[in-house]
Amino acid sequence: MHIAIIGYGKMGKEIERLALGRGWSVDLRIDIDTPPVTPAQRSNIDVVIHYAQADRIVDDLTPWAEARKQIVIGTTGWQEQLPKIEALVKKNGIGLLYASNFSIGVNIFFHLVRNAAQMMDKFPDYDAFIQEIHHKNKLDSPSGTALTIGQIVLKHLSRKKELLNETSHGKIRPEQLHVSSVRSGSVVGTHVLSFDSDADMIELKHTAKNRSGLALGTLLAAEWIAGKKGLYKMDDLFDDLLKKETVRS
């Protein structure tokens, strides 16, 4: 597998470390100060992986789509550009997979959240809320992962109708699902979904120990998207994996 990495920060370096450990070739490492990539450099790439600035995503990926290269997007905070990305995929006949979080553990967590919300829909005494904590340098807030958790809950917990993503300065409406964020230190990522009643509280919690889980899931996505056409989410990959007897990262 020959890959290019757009965004050579901590995640980019971790992806490179694990990719090289698998015997893959990291042919290009692209950052803000990298010279423009030539068509010849693109020609040998199988998959390009994007973990860079959200506001540059369309410009970053357009030449790769036009070169008909497969794409994996790990960048968050770009969803308003989704129609343009979708148009690139369709026009150039490529495969693209994106996710708010590529961690295998987080995607297991998403499935647990769905099951919990479906169960709690039958128990109206429990109110739900979401908390997330990340390092002080994270650009987006709430995290894409927290927003995904929120959307899952809204879909399966009928008494919640909308997300409240900002600090509440007063009483919130019963139909609002509050998502709160903390930015501090070097926390890789913690997400908690809580169900609270007068009698007790139930919490589902995922804590990332390092960036390896994200990087492993990203490489898994790079393998999976090979040869496919269309726009995919991590759910598509994960549903496919769950059909197999054993999932190995």
Residue 246 DSSP code: -
Rounded-to-integer distance, Cα 144 and Cα 157, Å: 20
In the numeric block, the tokens 């054993």 are attached to 246
Would you say 110 and 86 are in contact if contact means Cβ atoms under 8 Å apart? no
Residue 138 falls in the annotated catalytic set: yes
| Residues 19 and 87 placed together within one structural domain of the fold | yes
Q: Say which CATH number the domain at 142 has.
A: 3.30.360.10
Let me know whether 85 and 170 are in one domain: no
- Give the per-residue pLDDT at 245: 58
pLDDT score of 124: 97
Q: Which residue of the set 69, 134, 160, 178 is catalytic?
A: 134
Residues 14 and 76 in one domain: yes
For the chain, what is the domain count?
2
Query: Domain range holding 161?
Result: 104-207
Task: Report the C-alpha gap between 43 and 164 in whole angstroms.
Answer: 45
Q: At 179, which amino acid appears?
A: V
Q: What is the CATH number of the domain that holds 76?
A: 3.40.50.720
134 catalytic? Reply is yes
Domain contains 193: yes
What's the CA gap between 85 and 170, in Å, rounded? 38
Is 34 found in the same domain as 87? yes
Catalytic residue chosen out of the listed positions 10, 84, 138, 228? 138
Q: Give the containing element (helix H, strand E) for 87.
A: helix 82-92
Whether 121 is in a domain gets the answer yes
Q: What is the pLDDT along the chain (249 residues), one digit of tens a residue?
A: 999 999 999 999 999 999 999 999 999 999 988 999 999 999 999 999 999 999 999 999 999 999 999 999 999 889 999 999 999 999 999 999 999 889 989 999 999 999 999 999 999 999 999 999 999 999 889 998 999 999 999 999 999 999 999 888 899 999 999 999 999 999 999 999 999 999 999 999 999 998 899 999 999 999 999 999 999 999 899 888 878 755 555
